[in-house]
C-alpha cells in the first residue's frame, strides 16, 4: 500500500472512531490506539507534504489568521421571538392557526446557550463556516470550525446546503479547563464564543468545543415536508442533532417544558430555554417572517441561572475533617426565584484563581436548589481588597496549616464545629443510625456536658442530660436506647461512621465485603485496599493514614471496649450475574425500598450508582420516576421496569 492510500485509510478509521465517540457515545478503541493512529497520520503528512481535505489533523488547528473575512450567507439567518409565560405561548400557537388540542403539530427542542454558527457543505465536504453576524453576513471561521470534532468534515449528501447550529462548551470541559489553567473562563457560553472568535485555531482546538445542528437553511435538490424529516436528514449525514426532540400539541409541549426546566440541571451543557417550531414546513413557510423573526417558531425562556453581585465579606466554615471552606456573603440578588445572599468558594486557591476580594463584583451561578457558586470576578485585574487565608481557626483560635489546596484547623481534639460534625456524621442513618441524635443535639452536649469524642457517646447516662433544655425523661430514654441499639451494627456502617477521608457508604460496603471483619480491616495493607474496585491511590493512602494514627486507633479500641460490635460481613453465595454492570434506580418500587434493591445489585456483583451517565448499563424504573429517567432516555441507556429487572436476575 502506498503512503497516500495509507493516509486515506488512517483518515477514514480515525474519523469512524471519532464519530463513534462524539456522536454515538461508543468507545470501539482505546485512547492509546486512537492516539497511535493519529500520530501515524500526522507523521505521514509531514513526510509527504500532503494533507487530505477531510484529514482529522485539521482538528488540531493551523496557523493563526491575521483577521476574519466577511462571509455572506446563502440564506438569511433569523432570530427567534421570545415568551416567558405559558399564556403567551398559547397565544402564539393560536396565531399560528393551531388549537390547544391538536396533535403532533409542534416540535420542541433544547435552546442551547452557545454561539450560532452556519456551516456550508458542497460536494460532500465542509467548505465554509461562519458566525451568524447580522443574519446576512458573518465572520468566516472555517479554520476554527474544523477543530470541533463533532462537526463532520465530509458528509454523504453531495448537493450544496447550509446547516445552522449551536457551538457550545460542555460544563465538565469548562470545569476541567478552569481547574488546570490560570486563565479563568467565566461561563460556557463566553468560553465557546471566545474560542470560536480567536484568530488562532489552535486555541479553539484546546477549548474542546461541541456542536449541535438544528436547521437546514438552504439546500439544493431536496425539500422537507416536516421539521422531523429535516432532522432525520441531518442525522443521516452525520451531523449531531440533540437527542431530545419532542413532537406534540401545544398542551403536551407545555408539559414537556416543565420537565425540561427541571432536567436542565442534570445536563452537561447550558440550555436557557426551549425552542418550539411548527412541524409542517409548508405551513411554516406560509406564515412567513417579520423583519426579525419567523412566525412559525418561538423561544420559551427559562429564568436566568447566572447573575452579578458584590462580595461583602468572606467567612471560613469548619467541617468535621477540620477543613476550612470559604463562604462568600454577597449583596442580595434575585436568582431563579430566590433571594441569594451567600455563595460558595472551594478553597483559597479558588479565591485567588477567580480574583475574588471584598468589594469585587462577581458572576454567581445557581444550579437547582443548591447554594450558588462564584464563577469569577467581573472586574478587570486583581481585587483592591484581597482575601487572605486565616492564620488561626475562627472558632477555636488554633493555628491553621495548608495541605495541598486546602487549609485545616490543627485542633482536632477540642474545636467545637469539627467535633459536632463528626458526632452528627457518626449518628447519621447510613452510619450508626442513632435515631433522634441530630447536629443540634451534638452541639448541645459538647457545650453543656463537655462531650469531646465519639466513644464518650456510649458513656452517657440519664444524669448527663440533667437540666438540658428540651430533654424530658421520655426523650432521654429514647436517645439512650437508640445509642445502645446502635452497638449492633453492620461492618460497612461502622467503617462509614468512622469518617475516614473519601470513604463514602459505597466504598465502606466494598471494604466490608473485602475484609469481612473489623479486625481484618484494621490490618489492611495498601495493596489489599488498591485491589478493591473504585479504590484508588488517594483513597487507599487516606485509609492507611487513618488506620496508623495512634490516637484514632485508641478511639476505635475504646468503641469496641464499650460494646460496639460490628457484624462480620456475610460472604455472598449469589452468582455475580451483574458483574461489571452499573445500574441506577429511580422512582418508587413495589417490592423493594431503595437500600434493599441497591444491596441486591451489589450482592450480584453490580454497582449501584446515584446518577445516570453514558457508562450506566441499565436504569431500573419504578412509579413517579423523575429526571434520572429523562436522562436515561436522552443518553439512550436501557430502561428496565421492576419486573424486567427481576427477570434479568432470574427471580
* Domain range annotation of the chain: 3-60, 72-301, 306-403, 416-486, 490-567, 582-648
Strands of 161-168's sheet, edge to edge? 125-131, 115-122, 161-168, 210-219
Q: Is 301 a catalytic residue?
A: no
Closest CA to 227 of 55, 342, 109: 109
* pLDDT surpasses 80 at 100: no
Please report the pLDDT score of residue 151 as a whole number.
Answer: 92
With 0-12 / 13-18 / 19 or more C-beta atoms within 10 angstroms meaning exposed / middle / buried, residue 66 is exposed
* pLDDT surpasses 60 at 572: no
Answer for the pair 139, 197: CB distance below 8 angstroms, yes or no: yes
CATH class name, domain 72-301 = alpha beta
Distance CA 2, CA 47 (A): 13
Between 346 and 237, name the one with better pLDDT. 237
Looking at the domain 3-60, which fold is it?
A: Helix Hairpins (1.10.287)
Domain 416-486 falls under CATH 3.10.105.10: no
Segment 523-530 mean pLDDT = 90
Distance CA 60, CA 560 (A): 60
Closest CA to 147 of 12, 4, 20, 22: 22
Instruction: Tell me the range of 50-54, 118-122, 139-143, 529-533 where mean pLDDT is highest.
Output: 118-122
Between 19 and 96, name the one with better pLDDT. 96
* pLDDT surpasses 70 at 103: no
Closest CA to 285 of 295, 299, 293: 295
0.85 cut: is pTM over it? no
Helix (H, G, I), strand (E, B) or coil at 422: helix
What mean pLDDT is reported for the chain? Answer: 85
User: pLDDT, tens digit, for every residue of 287-311?
Assistant: 998 877 899 999 998 876 778 889 9
Q: Give the C-alpha distances (Å, rounded to integers) separating 640 from 554, 563, 616, 619, 623.
A: 48, 44, 12, 6, 12
Looking at the domain 490-567, which fold is it?
A: DNA polymerase; domain 1 (1.10.150)
Question: Quick check: do 306-403 and 416-486 share a fold?
Answer: no
First to last CA, the chain: 56
Please report the pLDDT score of residue 481 as a whole number.
Answer: 93
User: Backbone dihedral region of 206: left (phi > 0), alpha (psi from -120 to 50 degrees) or beta?
Assistant: alpha
Please report the pLDDT score of residue 161 as a whole number.
Answer: 96
Largest interatomic CA distance in the chain? 92
Length of the chain in terms of residues written: 651
Segment 414-428 mean pLDDT = 88
Architecture of domain 306-403: Beta Barrel (2.40)
Segment 263-277 mean pLDDT = 87
Question: Which parts of 338-475 are beta strand (E)?
Answer: 338-344, 361-365, 373-377, 400-403, 406-409
Closest CA to 321 of 247, 418, 220: 418
Please report the pLDDT score of residue 298 as a whole number.
Answer: 94
**Considering only 30-34, 142-146, 177-181, which range has the smallest mean pLDDT?**
30-34
* pLDDT > 70 in the chain, percent: 92
Segment 581-603 mean pLDDT = 82
Between 625 and 387, name the one with better pLDDT. 387
**Considering only 129-133, 418-422, 607-611, which range has the smallest mean pLDDT?**
607-611
Closest CA to 410 of 440, 390, 426, 427: 390
Distance CA 360, CA 353 (A): 13
Please report the pLDDT score of residue 43 as a whole number.
Answer: 85
* pLDDT surpasses 50 at 593: yes
Please report the pLDDT score of residue 28 as a whole number.
Answer: 60
pLDDT class of 369 with cuts at 50, 70, 90: very low
* pLDDT surpasses 90 at 101: no
Please report the pLDDT score of residue 504 as a whole number.
Answer: 87
105, 111, 277, 509: the catalytic one is: 111
Distance CA 615, CA 582 (A): 7
CATH class name, domain 582-648 = alpha beta
Please report the pLDDT score of residue 25 as a whole number.
Answer: 44
Cell 450506566 -> residue: 616
pLDDT class of 66 with cuts at 50, 70, 90: low
Please report the pLDDT score of residue 405 as a whole number.
Answer: 80
Amino acid at each position: 500500500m502506498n503512503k497516500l492510500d495509507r493516509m486515506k485509510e488512517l483518515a477514514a478509521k480515525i474519523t469512524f472512531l471519532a464519530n463513534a465517540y462524539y456522536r454515538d457515545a461508543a468507545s470501539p478503541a482505546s485512547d492509546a490506539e486512537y492516539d497511535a493512529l493519529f500520530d501515524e497520520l500526522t507523521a505521514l503528512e509531514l513526510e509527504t507534504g500532503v494533507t487530505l481535505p477531510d484529514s482529522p489533523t485539521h482538528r488540531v488547528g493551523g496557523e493563526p489568521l491575521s483577521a476574519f473575512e466577511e462571509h455572506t450567507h446563502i440564506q438569511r439567518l433569523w432570530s427567534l421571538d421570545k415568551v416567558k409565560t405559558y399564556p403567551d405561548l398559547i397565544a402564539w400557537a393560536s396565531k399560528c392557526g393551531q388549537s390547544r388540542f391538536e396533535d403532533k403539530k409542534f416540535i420542541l427542542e433544547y435552546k442551547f446557550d452557545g454561539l450560532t454558527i452556519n456551516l456550508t457543505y458542497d460536494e460532500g465536504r465542509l467548505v465554509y463556516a461562519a458566525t451568524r453576524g447580522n443574519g446576512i453576513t458573518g465572520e468566516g471561521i472555517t479554520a476554527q470550525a474544523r477543530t470541533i470534532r463533532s462537526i463532520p468534515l465530509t458528509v454523504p449528501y453531495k448537493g450544496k446546503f447550509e446547516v445552522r447550529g449551536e457551538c457550545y462548551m460542555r460544563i465538565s470541559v469548562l470545569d476541567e479547563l478552569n481547574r488546570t489553567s490560570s486563565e479563568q473562563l467565566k461561563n460556557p457560553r463566553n468560553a465557546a464564543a471566545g474560542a470560536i472568535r480567536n484568530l488562532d485555531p489552535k486555541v479553539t482546538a484546546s477549548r474542546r468545543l461541541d456542536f449541535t445542528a438544528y436547521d437546514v437553511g438552504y439546500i439544493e435538490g431536496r425539500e422537507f415536508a416536516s421539521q422531523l424529516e429535516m432532522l432525520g436528514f441531518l442525522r443521516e449525514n452525520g451531523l449531531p442533532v440533540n437527542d431530545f426532540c419532542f413532537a406534540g400539541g401545544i398542551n403536551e409541549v407545555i408539559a414537556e417544558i416543565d420537565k425540561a426546566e427541571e432536567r436542565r440541571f442534570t445536563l452537561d451543557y447550558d440550555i436557557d430555554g426551549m425552542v418550539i417550531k411548527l412541524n409542517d414546513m409548508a405551513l411554516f413557510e406560509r406564515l412567513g417572517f417579520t423583519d426579525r423573526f419567523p412566525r412559525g417558531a418561538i423561544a420559551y425562556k427559562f429564568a436566568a441561572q447566572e447573575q452579578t453581585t458584590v462580595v461583602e465579606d468572606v467567612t471560613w466554615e469548619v467541617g468535621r475533617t477540620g477543613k476550612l471552606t470559604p463562604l462568600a456573603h454577597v449583596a442580595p440578588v434575585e436568582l431563579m426565584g430566590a433571594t441569594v445572599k451567600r455563595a460558595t468558594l472551594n478553597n483559597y486557591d479558588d479565591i485567588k484563581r477567580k480574583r475574588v476580594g471584598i468589594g469585587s463584583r462577581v458572576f454567581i451561578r445557581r444550579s437547582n436548589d443548591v447554594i450558588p457558586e462564584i464563577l469569577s470576578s467581573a472586574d478587570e485585574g486583581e481585587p483592591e481588597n484581597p482575601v487572605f487565608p486565616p492564620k488561626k481557626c475562627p472558632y477555636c483560635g488554633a493555628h491553621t496549616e495548608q495541605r495541598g489546596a486546602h487549609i485545616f484547623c490543627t485542633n482536632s481534639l477540642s474545636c467545637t464545629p469539627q467535633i459536632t460534625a463528626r458526632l452528627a456524621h457518626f449518628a447519621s442513618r447510613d452510619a450508626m443510625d442513632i435515631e433522634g441524635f441530630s447536629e443540634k443535639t451534638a452541639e448541645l452536649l459538647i457545650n453543656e456536658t463537655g462531650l469531646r469524642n465519639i466513644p464518650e457517646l456510649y458513656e452517657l447516662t440519664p444524669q448527663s442530660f440533667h437540666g438540658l433544655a428540651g430533654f424530658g425523661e421520655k426523650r432521654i430514654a429514647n436517645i439512650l436506647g437508640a445509642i445502645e441499639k446502635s452497638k449492633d451494627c453492620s461492618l460497612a456502617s461502622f467503617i462509614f461512621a468512622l469518617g475516614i477521608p473519601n470513604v463514602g457508604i459505597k466504598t465502606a460496603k466494598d471494604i466490608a465485603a473485602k475484609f469481612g471483619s473489623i479486625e481484618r480491616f484494621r490490618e489492611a495493607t495498601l495493596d489489599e485496599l488498591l485491589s478493591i474496585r473504585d479504590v484508588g491511590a488517594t483513597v487507599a493512602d487516606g485509609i492507611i493514614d487513618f488506620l496508623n494514627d495512634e490516637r484514632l486507633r485508641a478511639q476505635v479500641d475504646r468503641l469496641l471496649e464499650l460494646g460496639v460490635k460490628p457484624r462480620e460481613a456475610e460472604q455472598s453465595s449469589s452468582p455475580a450475574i451483574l458483574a461489571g454492570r452499573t445500574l441506577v434506580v429511580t422512582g418508587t418500587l413495589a417490592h423493594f425500598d431503595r437500600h434493599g434493591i441497591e444491596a441486591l445489585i451489589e450482592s450480584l456483583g453490580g454497582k449501584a450508582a446515584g446518577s445516570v451517565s453514558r457508562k450506566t448499563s441499565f436504569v431500573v424504573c419504578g412509579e413517579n420516576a423523575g429526571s434520572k429517567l429523562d436522562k436515561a432516555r436522552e443518553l439512550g441507556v436501557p430502561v428496565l421496569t421492576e419486573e424486567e429487572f427481576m427477570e434479568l436476575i432470574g427471580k
